[in-house]
Amino acid sequence: MTLEIVRAGMFTTIQDLGRFGYRRDGVVTSGAMDPFAWRVANQLVGNPSHERLEDKRSDDKNQAALEFFLVGPTVAFHQRTAIAIYGGDWNVKLNGKPIRCGRPYLVEPGQQIDVKEATVGCWGYMAIHGGVQVPAVLGSRSTHVRSGLGGLNGLPLTVGDKIPSKHPTSFTLGWPKHRTCFVPWNVNVFHDCPVPSSRPIRFLPGTHWNHLDGPSQKEFLSVEWLISGRSDRMGYRLEQPPPAQPTKQPGLRLSGPFEMLSEPTAIGTIQLPPSGEPIVLTADSATTGGYPRIGHVVDGDLSRLVQQRPGSAIRFQAVSREESNQLQIDSQKQLRRLKGMLAYQTRRR
Amino acid sequence: MTKEPVSIEPLGDRAILLRFGQKPDQDCFERIRCFERALERTGIPGFIESAPAYTTLAVYFDPERVKGFQMEQSLLNVLQNVESLSDAYLVGNDLTNFRETAVEVPVCYDTEFGPDLDFVAHTHGMTCREVVAIHSSEVYFVHMIGFLPGFPYLGGLSDRIATPRKESPRLVVAAGSVGIAGNQTGVYPIASPGGWQIIGRSPMQLFDKTKNPPCKIRAGDGIRFVEVNRIEFETLCYERTDSR
């Protein structure tokens, strides 16, 4: 046992990249809300991050990290290990001394990491060298609270929980003496991470985009949407600010009566329930849905969307399939570049 | 027989949706199943998984290994191969006899377990016994699993007991609850909020995370609800926890 939760934080769960291969059985993918940040955090502590998703089914490659929302946990360590925090920017202390996000640190037995509030973004990751070693359920350690899968008994972490992690390896044993941190740099949370920005969230119009009536299509593209406080790991609910003209019904309308059978969904799908206020599906969303799909947030912008806090405003911009493809390639390149750089830097110490 | 052409559309950047028809009939289901088998045999690089629904199939892929348009082309190739031979392929398919191989799901229709049974009976001017008799006499076809781990979408509910959803959903529906919503019926494999009219509860564990596959019931199976009394229900529950 190497980790003990001293203070729980908000929605602190164990997550990897998700549970694949069981959507046909209704099992949701789960996994990190912001997979980009998750990958960076793991890369920082020398954990392999998976180029190939299907390889993940083998146990030892399936590293898991702690995920938290807005307020992080306090974790006590009973064994020497390396950690890194990434995903937005957080107020973090190692035994009372402030440390930076996006950097690997050595933690000695008896020391505590105290993750306080987020100063940028809202989903954070604490990667631990070797990953946390809870048993994999259906090929993944990701916690899905609703079905009680993964994590520690399928539950969010609470005070007193003890989590096993790997024994020290060359990565921590060969750490320079008397240094908690061996690198003079950190991954810039503003430049290298797609944290909140005023750029619109790009989306691919979905199967039922043309079922929206003309004014609603225009409205979706022009209005500032607020991220509702009822958003969670299942979906980001979008609201409109109180209308300027009180006569107008808020929300988007379909051009005619609409009836559909339940169909598969994907992470990033923008659904339109009868209320007229869209929901962007995220990590824990159900595998199928019976609401019209007006669009899909492009892969490259999903991290940026989930790092927007409840209450913040976003805009949408429609892109073509070609553009969305290009954005995907760009974000893959960015991640590869970062990975290459980190692998080089962490080897060099 | 002429078949409806299959339409292909993107489901975001990491998935492709294939639509095999408009009506969720047996023919449509069999086409989806044939295609899935062929897809598995083909082994396209970057393919992660596929998941069927009533008339559609979603194919999920890893965009770091295969680009969306390449995946689409590969799917079209598989489709061409399958559809050219599927008529011959369909003969003797094990699907048609889902009635004979139906999974028996024990259900206790006690009012304690089925708080809405009275409402359903009242809506149709029947007694509770008549509703139970109708519900447990049919063989239901599992169109798809979705919504919750192991939640079956069943077709074949008699119009005589079809009842709309509750106006305000319950915050907690117990695991094993058997419900009716419109002309659908189903079983909640795990506790969940839900708006279905609950008429009974099954002691059977439909979703077991320690098994692979984790679901006892899968798309294409048949289900028959078998009435059990309270004592049998308790015994089955006990046996279930005992066998662990």
Note the maximum CA span of chain B. 59
Of A264 and A195, the structure prediction assigns the larger pLDDT to A264
B98-242: in CATH 3.40.50.1220: no
What is the pTM (predicted TM-score) of this model? 0.90
Nearest chain B CA: its distance from A287 CA (Å): 6
Query: Where are the CATH 3.30.1360.40 domain residues in chain B?
Result: 7-96
A284 touches chain B (CB under 8 A): no
- The ranges assigned to domains in chain A are 3-193, 201-318
Can you give the pLDDT at residue A258? 83
Q: Is the peptide bond before B213 cis (omega within 30 degrees of 0)?
A: yes
Cβ–Cβ contacts within 10 Å for residue A247, how many?
Answer: 5
Whether pLDDT at B52 is above 50:
yes
β-pair partners for A338: none
Query: Where are the CATH 2.40.100.10 domain residues in chain B?
Result: 98-242
Please state the rounded mean pLDDT for residues B46-62.
Answer: 95
Query: Is residue B143 left, alpha or beta, with left meaning phi > 0 and alpha meaning psi from -120 to 50?
Result: alpha
Condensed to tens digits (0 to 9), the pLDDT of residues A72-92 reads 999 999 988 889 999 989 999
A148 touches chain B (CB under 8 A): yes
Please state the rounded mean pLDDT for residues B5-9.
Answer: 92
Residues 165-204 of B with CB under 8 A from A: 189-190, 192
Condensed to tens digits (0 to 9), the pLDDT of residues A257-274 reads 888 888 999 999 999 998
> Which ipTM did the prediction report?
0.91
A147 touches chain B (CB under 8 A): yes
Whether pLDDT at B190 is above 60:
yes
Please state the rounded mean pLDDT for residues A277-305.
Answer: 93
Closest residue to B67, CB basis, from A146, A286, A325: A325
Per-chain mean pLDDT for chain B: 89
Condensed to tens digits (0 to 9), the pLDDT of residues A209-249 reads 999 999 999 999 999 999 999 999 999 999 987 766 666 67
| C-alpha dist (Å) from residue B225 to B84, B90, B218 | 38, 28, 16
**Chain A residues touching B68 at Cβ < 8 A:** 321, 325
Collect all residues with Cβ–Cβ distance below 8 Å to A130 and sequence separation of at least 6.
A47, A63, A81, A165, A166, A167, A169
Please state the rounded mean pLDDT for residues B141-149.
Answer: 91
A298 touches chain B (CB under 8 A): yes
Cβ–Cβ contacts within 10 Å for residue A93, how many?
Answer: 14
- The residue type found at B80 is Q
Please state the rounded mean pLDDT for residues B102-127.
Answer: 94
B7-96: in CATH 3.40.309.10: no
Can you give the pLDDT at residue B78? 93
Q: What is A201-318's CATH number?
A: 2.40.100.10
Q: How confident is the model at residue A298 (pLDDT cuts 50, 70, 90)?
A: very high
Q: Which of B11, B72, B154 to mutate to test the interface with A (most CBs of A within 10 A)?
A: B11
Whether pLDDT at A7 is above 50:
yes
B70 touches chain A (CB under 8 A): no
Closest residue to B146, CB basis, from A288, A299, A324: A288
Residue A323, token pair as written in the block: 């553009």
Strands (E), A216-330: 225-227, 235-239, 263-264, 269-271, 279-281, 288-289, 293-297, 313-314, 316-318
Can you give the pLDDT at residue B238? 85
List phi, psi (to 5°) of B40: -65, -40
Residues B57, A264: C-beta atoms closer than 8 Å: yes
